[in-house]
Amino acid sequence: MLKVQNLYKTFEQKKKEKIEAVRDVSFNVNPGEVYGLLGPNGAGKTTILRMISTLLKPTRGEIFVKEFNTKDSSLDVKRNLGFLSGSTALYDRLTAEEMVKYFGNLFGLEKQILNQRIEEIFSLLKMNEFRNIRCGKLSTGMKQKVSIARTLINDPPLLVLDEPTAGLDVLSAKNIIDFIKRSRDKGKAIIFSTHIMSEAEYLCDRVGILHKGKIYYEGTLSEIKQKSKVEHLQDIFFLLEEQESEKTPA
Amino acid sequence: MKKLQLRNILLILHKEIIDMLRDKRTIIGMIVVPIVVMPLLSLGMMGLMMAEMKKLEEKPIILGICDNSKTNLIKSSFEEPDQNGNQMKVKFVETEDEEVLRQKVIAKEVMIGIIIPEHLEDNLKANTSTQIILVYDKSRPQTDAIMPKVLNIIRNLGNSIRDERLKNLGLSEEFIHPLKLEYEDLATPKKMGAFIIGMILPYMLLILSVAGASNPAMDLTAGEKERGTLETILVSPASIEEITFGKFFTIQFASIISTLLILLSYFVFLKIGLFASMADIYLKINIPLTSLILILLLFFPASGMFSAILLTLSIFAKSLKEAQSYMAPIMVLTIFPAMVSLLPGIEPSFLLAIIPVVNVSLSIKMIITEDFNLMLYTVTFLSSTIYAILCLLLTINIFKRESVLFRI
């Protein structure tokens, strides 16, 4: 479903200073699988997910969603994925229903199909009681549900979730976790980034450990623990940090 | 450029207009301020000015007089009614010392001081001139209003003495006026109205167009960046071009509507007679429908250019606050070229017809004052359209840059 091959991303800062945010990253995500990109802040998780969702262009390397390449088929790629992140907010002055309908229309869904999808999703996520309330007046949990509905409206085979539970309370985070589990059960491919290890251990079938733009370990959680010889997943980052400082001359 | 889907552009335009009309700030800026606040402010200012002028008329003029001749000639001339039978309300403060009179003018105790020399009577008898000194403070706002009245009375006194002298010599007034001037103004009230409207309307249209576009431009770009909704629309299947066009047309819509609303509200205020003194002039002009269509046609690319420029600057800004700081220079850059319609002596030409803003300002003036030149109008329309398209292409280019979109 998702194939990432030798991906690089370099940002040019002021004074022509270059920052290599992503270095030679490759991985696949299959249908019915949750792939976790784990890493501390600044590891390059958001940059990779933004490249998958075509918001950023790779400096080198290729990304395929189904058979579509992000370089030359960005609109087809966008039609096949649902992107959700902390920075994909809602229009405060649209109601929950208007918000979801707007995106459904942009996906070109026919009126009848769109209305049917809205009814299904609103019932599934228990959103009917606030469907006519403007998003600006909704609670954080309700907003999160509207965002999920917006992501699901085109029934995409791939879900790209960038730290979807960041800043949420326990109940709102549960909405997201249930949504991921339900989507996996429906055969969707899911890539999600997090720095909360317990979430990854609970949800992910496979993970990629990202540190300073590079994937150092990849596999199931038990495989990674075995390879890295650490008891707890978060210890890997301390290990990688130590290895990094040993390489750097004092 | 990928193939544009009109459906997506219309969807974005429709959503943005709904979103905009639900925003209290935009409603206040786009509707309440233009149709209520601005005319009322103008009305208030005009009312205040008229009240002040009336107060000045009713208030007696305080004149200081130092009559060294003791003839009372000048003073009595102020007490006589004029040719129309109107009596000027004057209060005299008399002094015998010229320096004291000057001090009274400086101390604002009197509005204008009149110094009459000792030998006035002798000079009158000898048929020679006498120098009357008027002491005033030019920095006082009332001076300009009162001075013509005082001069008029003294000149009339001088003229009657002159006529008396001529009569004594057996000569008529024509002896010293071999050439007489008569003024014949062929400007009809309609033409005068067109002349005044032709100066003001282009300037107002252009400035209001920028003002009307700036709030939505900032809200739809920098505001969306700040609120995080820009990323949401960017991951939808609408292309950057479609998103840009949708936002661009929304801004242009706001610009045109707010400009038309303010003009309409001024028209209504004039029609119901709230600006009575102005209505005398403005309502005598009748802009033909074809002229209105020509003006609106020209206004379209002009507002398009402004909308694209404001959209580009706003998308470049990290936040609403930064976007606001870009708006003031744009306003200044528009005000000066738009003011060309207010300047006398600047006539439309082919060179001016390709200078942005200046061309539109002069063309609208040309249409209203009925000096229409089709060639210049066409050049203005085409060049403005080209500028609008170029600005829009620049906007799309800027919108595509990652460094601009994610400059947070």
Minimum CA–CA partner of A153 in chain B: B236
Query: What domains lie within chain A, and their CATH numbers?
Result: 1-80+159-167+187-250 (3.40.50.300)
DSSP state of B36: I
Q: Is the dihedral of CA B223, B224, B228, B230 positive or negative?
A: negative
Quote the ipTM score: 0.87
Structure tokens at B68: 């060294």
DSSP state of A34: E
Structure tokens at B299: 């206004």
Q: How far apart are CA B55 and CA B43, in angstroms?
A: 18
Among A150-154, A239-243, B226-230, which stretch is predicted with the lowest mean pLDDT?
Answer: A239-243
Q: Predicted confidence band at B277 (pLDDT cuts at 50, 70, 90)? A: low
Q: Predicted confidence band at B253 (pLDDT cuts at 50, 70, 90)? A: very high
Angle ∠(B350,B354,B359) on CA atoms, nearest 5: 90
For B239, which of A75, A81, A98 is closest by C-beta distance?
Answer: A75
Measured from the Cβ of residue A53, the count of other Cβ atoms closer than 10 Å reads 26
Distances (CA, A) of B201 to B1, B263, B291: 38, 9, 13
Residue with tokens 């979109």: B405
For residues B63 and B104, the answer to whether their CB atoms sit within 8 Å is no
Chain B interface test: which of A15, A47, A59, A105 (most B C-beta within 10 Å): A105
* CB spacing of A105 vs B229 below 8 angstroms: no
* CB spacing of B235 vs A75 below 8 angstroms: no
Closest approach of B396 to chain A, Cα-based (Å): 15
Q: Is the pLDDT of residue B105 over 70?
A: yes
| Residues linked to residue A194 through DSSP beta bridges, in sequence order | A38
Measured from the Cβ of residue A31, the count of other Cβ atoms closer than 10 Å reads 14
Instruction: Give per-residue pLDDT as tens, B59-77.
Output: 888 999 999 988 888 888 8
Predicted local distance difference test score (pLDDT) of residue B262: 77
For residues B26 and B20, the answer to whether their CB atoms sit within 8 Å is yes
Helix, strand, coil percent values for chain B (each to nearest 5): 70, 5, 25
| Chain A CB contacts of B11 below 8 Å | 102, 105-106
Sequence-distant (6+) residues with CB within 8 A of B118 are: B68, B69
Predicted local distance difference test score (pLDDT) of residue B249: 95
Amino acid letter, B208: L
| Chain B CB contacts of A92 below 8 Å | 227
Q: Predicted confidence band at B408 (pLDDT cuts at 50, 70, 90)? A: very low
Minimum CA–CA partner of A58 in chain B: B402
For B232, which of A50, A89, A98 is closest by C-beta distance?
Answer: A89
Residue with tokens 């066009």: B245
Query: What domains lie within chain B, and their CATH numbers?
Result: 6-39+187-405 (no CATH), 61-175 (3.40.1710.10)
Chain B interface test: which of A76, A79, A87 (most B C-beta within 10 Å): A87
Q: How far apart are CA B18 and CA B23, in angstroms?
A: 9
Q: How many CB pairs under 8 A join A and B?
A: 67
Instruction: Give per-residue pLDDT as tens, B360-375.
Output: 988 988 888 878 889 9
Average pLDDT over residues B232-239: 90
Instruction: Give per-residue pLDDT as tens, B322-373.
Output: 998 988 888 888 888 888 888 877 888 889 999 998 999 889 888 888 788 8
- For residues B168 and B193, the model is more confident at B168
Average pLDDT over residues A17-43: 89
Distances (CA, A) of A121 to A93, A229, B153: 21, 43, 89
